Amino acid sequence: MQLKIETNRAVKIIYVKEERLDAHNSDELKAELNSLFENGMKDLLVDLKEVRFIDSSGLGVLVSGFKNASARQGSFKLSGLQSQVKSMFELTRLHRVFDIFQTVDDALESY
């Protein structure tokens, strides 16, 4: 899975550079998120701008990240949702769980 990771002050930004986030590659994102948490990071921002498709496995990994951050009194935010990805969050009511921003810059302003 193609990921790009940047640091902005205490926030780790994970850019998912894939067209799909699904059962085939979502475990790799989960492993990367877990590694960041284990290394002491607790404020994560995942940018999905390039993701055109997400399935229930991809959603599950993001929920896992949210729970992990919450358990560490941290935050887990999302940015750049394309319309079809956003509709999957709405279908599963997960848009009420996550803080979702248009862009990475918008999200960074919220910290």
Tell me which residues touch other proteins (CB under 8 A): 19-20, 22-24, 53, 55-57, 59-61, 63-64, 66-67, 84, 87-88, 91-94, 96-97
Which long-range contacts link 92-101 to residues 24+ away (Cβ below 8 Å)?
92/56, 92/59, 94/59, 94/62, 94/63, 97/63, 97/66, 98/62, 98/66, 99/75, 101/77
When the beta carbons of 51 and 104 are compared against other proteins, the nearer one is: 51
Rounded to the nearest whole angstrom, what is the least distance from the CB of residue 101 to other proteins in the complex? 20
Our CB check for other proteins shows the closer of 8 and 64 to be 64
CB of 1 to other proteins, least distance (A): 12
Alpha helices of 1-111 — where are they, by DSSP H? 26-38, 56-71, 83-91, 104-109
Structure tokens at 24: 């085939």
> What minimum distance in Å lies between the beta carbon of 41 and other proteins?
20
Q: How many Cβ atoms from other residues are within 10 Å of residue 32's Cβ?
A: 20
5 vs 23, which CB is nearer to other proteins?
23
Please state the closest distance from residue 24 (CB atom) to other proteins, in A.
Answer: 4
